[in-house]
Amino acid sequence: MAESDRVKVAILGSGNIGTDLMYKILRDPGHMELALVAGIDPQSEGLARARSLGIPASHEGIAAVLADPEIKIVFDATSAKAHVRHAKLLREAGKIAVDLTPAARGPYVVPPVNLGQHLDEPNVNLITCGGQATIPLVYAVSRVTPVRYAEIVSTVASRSAGPGTRQNIDEFTFTTARGLEALGGAQQGKAIIILNPAEPPILMRNTIYVIPAGDFDKDAVVASVEQMVADVQRYVPGYRLKSAPVFDRRSTPWGERVVIAMLLEVTGAGDFLPPYSGNLDIMTAAARQVGELFARHLLGVREEVVA
What stretch of H or E contains 108?
A: none
CB 13 within 8 A of CB 62: no
Is 79 within any annotated ligand binding site?
no
Is 196 within any annotated ligand binding site?
no
Instruction: Report which residue type is found at 154.
Output: S
Is 234 within any annotated ligand binding site?
no
Is 160 within any annotated ligand binding site?
yes
234 is catalytic: no
Is 279 within any annotated ligand binding site?
yes
CB 136 within 8 A of CB 231: yes
Is 14 within any annotated ligand binding site?
yes
CB 25 within 8 A of CB 285: no
Helix axes 129-142, 169-182, angle to 10 degrees: 20
Active-site residue, selected from the candidate residues 129, 147, 183, 286: 129
- Give the strands of the sheet with 32-38, arranged side by side: 57-58, 32-38, 7-12, 73-76, 96-99, 123-125
- SS3 (DSSP) at 76: strand
Is 167 within any annotated ligand binding site?
yes
Distance of alpha carbon 92 from alpha carbon 105, whole angstroms: 14
Strands (E), the chain: 7-12, 32-38, 57-58, 73-76, 96-99, 123-125, 147-157, 186-196, 204-212, 239-241, 246-252, 255-266
Is 164 within any annotated ligand binding site?
yes
Is 165 within any annotated ligand binding site?
yes
Q: Is 37 left (phi over 0), alpha (psi -120 to 50) or beta?
A: beta
Is 140 within any annotated ligand binding site?
no
Is 16 within any annotated ligand binding site?
yes
Is 206 within any annotated ligand binding site?
no
What are the residue numbers of the active site?
A: 129
- For the annotated binding site, the residues are 14-17, 160-168, 279
- For the annotated binding site for NAD(+), the residues are 14-17, 160-168, 279
